[in-house]
Structure formats: structure tokens, C-alpha cells
Amino acid sequence: MADDFTGATDLATNWVARGVRTSVTLGVPTERELAGLADMDAVVVALKSRTAPVAEAVGESVAALAALRRLGCERIYDKYCSTFDSTPRGNIGPVADALTAELGTGTAVVVPSFPATGRTVYRGHLFVGDQLLGESPMRHHPLTPMTDSHLVRLLSPQTRHPVRAVGLDVVRGDPRALRAALDTSAGEGPGYVVVDAIDNDDLTRIAAATAHHPLVTGGSGLALGLPSRGAPATGAMPVVPGHRAVLAGSASAATRAQIEAALPALPARRLDLAALRADPAAEIAGLTDWARTHWADEPGRPVLVYAVGSLTDIERHPPEGLRPAAELVEDALADCAVAFAGAGARQFVVAGGETSGSVVRALGVRRLELGPALAPGVSWTHGSAPDGASYNLALKSGNFGGPSLFTGAWGELR
């Protein structure tokens, strides 16, 4: 299970790369939906629980666990952001505590490392590229500012269980010693082990040492430690003809760089928060008319609607009594997706976990099948809605992808 929709496709992308047949369900699957997943090797349940109230996040996660167990899943992967996005109250710790209680497990590893995207852990400290997490742009995150980098310190206030660390020397030492270090000793209760990992070989060692664990937690990188089953498990993804749009709600440094790179090439509009607060329907109608005009002139050219182009665009404190900017952005981009779909858009790149969840729910899509990869942790997908409409969607974590993603992603849709 994943705590947002981009995290779900991120994890699925890595499993597919290892030859694991994987589907993504958007929300807890119904009994009917579960029946259609029985031939999969793996299923990822995409939740919108990263910044939800703790009780809601725990409830959704426990419901997802119950559905996966009814499907016959033998191992559970609790996927959260590789930058450990959370507050001192959670939701990473409370969700993990609930899962360990439901499963009756002992030790669960904590492995946010995803070296392909620059996330590594050394001596218990999480790095983003060559910066400590607390010194990286994540310290400016509008919802979960990360000002510390030590994972034991970050997780301990969120859980009732002990948290300890295992260093790189143990990871790269005798495999039997690593397995022993990651297992619960006799008489110990549940707990968490933060494990160092700075490259994919480290992830392979950790995956082998935890192959018997019913629960692992971390970013999606640990999925790359699985033994390969051969060629990537992607079929021929249907390409849905229609207009193209980029909807970017993330304020991350990577997304801002992608916006900057796209501005000379794509028609673009930044969301006007004041206009959205004054008359959201009129603002969405205006954006849709603007998009229609550009699509009429150049049907194959994407349009870009974004929330934050630079740090000065971030609204730190909304005017008293008014909705926070993050909520306005989520709702506005979801409304844009629906309006753009009504105007014939069928191919969307969506940046930001919260934004992706809002957009996909608004479109009514319930299941995604993976297509070609665009970057580590990012793939095109195909999904259908109950009204019969189908879409190609690339749901991108705000922190993922290179600068040319918004302009170059479309080349894979042929």
C-alpha cells in the first residue's frame, strides 16, 4: 500500500522493472475489483493518506491491508515517501504501528533509500543527493517541512515501539549477521530498524535478509532489491488519442525546474489564488477556454497549468478565514482535469502526490496498468473510468524526473 497516488505508481514501476506483474488500484478495492486482480503477482493500493488526519490514515491503511489479505497477499509493503514526509505525529509511525498490530509482526525495516533518485541513508541520516534531508529543499515543503535528517529521531516520536539503526558495515558484512540484525530477538516485541543503504547492491542485500518478513516499510527503492524475474512486466499499453495537459501542483525543486524548462516550449498558465477564492468556477472556465484555443491551433501540443514557479509563489500563511493554498490548488487542478477531459483531453502528466490523488479521483479512474517508464519511479499508465472514458496518466512525485519531463514524456505515447 502507498500513502499517495504517485507513490503507488512509483512502487509499481520498480516492481514491473523486476518482471513482476503489477496493477495499481486507486483506493481500497471492492470485492468485485479484487476478483479482477487475482492473476497479478503484486497489487499496489494507492491511498491518499500522507497528510490525512492520523485516524483517517490508519483506518484507510488497515482497510487496504484487509483487502490485500483477502486477495491472498502473503507479504505487505508499506510504501511512504523516500524523503520521509511526515510530522512528529505521523503518519508514517501510526500507520506502521497499526499494520504490525494487525499482522502480529516483530521487527519491520525502515528503508527510504532510492539511490536512483538520490535518496540514500548513511549512519541513519537521510540524504537527498549530497544534502542532508534537513538542509535540502524539503525543509521548505508547505505541508511537511523536513528540518531533521536523522531517521531514528524522526520516527521515534511517531511510534510506541522502539526504533534502532543498522549501519552500512552490517549491511555489507556477513549475510547471516545482517539477517540476525534485522530480525526480532527472542522476547522482544515489535520495533523498527532504520537500515543504511547507499546503492542498489545494498538494497539487494536488505531484500534478501528480509525475504521472510511479512511486512517491510520504506520508499520504493527496496523493490529494486528483488531478484529479477526477467524482462519488464509491461504489456502493450493502450494509447488513448486526445489533447494533452500537464497539471503541476507540486512546489518541489524538481517540479519547479521542470516548469522552468517547459515555459519556453508550452503554453502555460499559473493558477491565480485570488481568482480561485473569488470565483473558482469562472477561473476554471477561463483556463479551459484558454486550453481549447491552444488545442485548436496545435492539437498535439500540451498545455501546462501550474501552481508554483518559484519559492516566492508559495503562500505560507493564507489570509485569515480563507482556505489554504494547498487545498485550493488540489481542487482547482482536479476541476481542470475534469473540464479539460470534457474538452477532449485524454493524456495527462500530473505532478505532486496530493494533486495526483485529487485528479485521478475526479476523473473516476479506479485501476491503472503500467506502461513505458519515463524516469526512475515514473511511468505512463492506462486507466478507465466508469463512464467509459479512458486516459493515459503519468503521475509524478513532485521530487522525481529530469528537467525535460514535461516536454519529453509525450514521445513514449506512440
Q: Tell me the C-alpha distance between 27 and 64, whole Å.
A: 8
Q: Tell me the C-alpha distance between 31 and 336, whole Å.
A: 31
Say if residue 34's pLDDT is above 70: yes
**Quick one: average pLDDT of 110-131?**
96
Q: Concatenate the DSSP letters of all residues of 292-311 into one string.
A: HHHHHH-TT--EEEES-SSG
290 and 161 in a single domain? The answer is: no
* Cα-to-chain-centroid distance, residue 320: 31
* Contacts of residue 166, Cβ cutoff 8 Å, sequence gap at least 6: 178, 181, 182, 193, 194, 195, 196
Q: Concatenate the DSSP letters of all residues of 117-148 into one string.
A: GTEEEETTEEEETTEEGGGSGGGG-SSS----
Mean pLDDT over each residue of the chain, to the nearest integer: 93
3-state helix, strand, coil split of the chain in percent (to 5) is 40, 20, 40
More confident residue, 387 or 165: 165
50 and 80 in a single domain? The answer is: yes
Q: Is residue 283 part of a domain?
A: yes
At residue 313 the predicted structure's pLDDT band, cuts being 50, 70 and 90, is confident
Instruction: Check residue 186 and give its pLDDT.
Output: 42
* Contacts of residue 180, Cβ cutoff 8 Å, sequence gap at least 6: none
258 and 120 in a single domain? The answer is: no
CATH of the domain at 167: 3.40.50.10840
Instruction: Check residue 406 and give its pLDDT.
Output: 98
CATH of the domain at 333: 3.40.980.20
221 and 247 in a single domain? The answer is: no
221 and 337 in a single domain? The answer is: no
Calculate the CA dihedral of residues 163, 49, 356, 134 and round it to 10 degrees: -30
Q: Is residue 302 part of a domain?
A: yes
Percent of all residues in the chain with a pLDDT value above 90, rounded to a whole number: 84
Q: Is residue 398 part of a domain?
A: yes
* Contacts of residue 320, Cβ cutoff 8 Å, sequence gap at least 6: none
Tell me the CA distances in angstroms from 192 to 163, 226, 334, one per residue in order: 5, 21, 37
pLDDT digits (tens, 9 = 90+) for 220-279: 999 999 988 888 877 779 999 999 999 999 988 899 999 999 999 999 999 999 999 999
Q: Is residue 237 part of a domain?
A: no
Q: Is residue 231 part of a domain?
A: no
302 and 338 in a single domain? The answer is: yes
213 and 255 in a single domain? The answer is: no
Lowest mean pLDDT among 171-185, 186-200, 204-218, 367-381: 186-200
The residue among 176, 195, 225 that closes a domain is: 225
Q: Tell me the C-alpha distance between 46 and 6, whole Å.
A: 8
Please answer whether residues 383 and 281 qualify as being in contact, where contact means their C-beta atoms are separated by less than 8 angstroms.
no
pLDDT digits (tens, 9 = 90+) for 331-342: 999 999 999 999
Q: Is residue 235 part of a domain?
A: no
Say if residue 149's pLDDT is above 70: yes
pLDDT digits (tens, 9 = 90+) for 4-33: 999 999 999 999 999 999 999 999 999 999
The residue among 225, 256, 291 that closes a domain is: 225
Q: Tell me the C-alpha distance between 169 and 172, whole Å.
A: 5
Q: Is residue 293 part of a domain?
A: yes
56 and 134 in a single domain? The answer is: yes
Say if residue 389's pLDDT is above 60: yes
Strands 367-375, 303-306: pairing is unpaired
**Quick one: average pLDDT of 195-206?**
97
120 and 170 in a single domain? The answer is: yes
265 and 139 in a single domain? The answer is: no
Full domain range(s) for residue 398: 243-412
Domain total of the chain: 2
20 and 68 in a single domain? The answer is: yes
Q: Is residue 274 part of a domain?
A: yes
pLDDT digits (tens, 9 = 90+) for 85-96: 999 999 999 999
170 and 264 in a single domain? The answer is: no
- Opening angle at CA 155, ends 379 and 43, nearest 5: 30
* Alpha helix segments (H runs only) across 251-324: 253-262, 273-278, 280-297
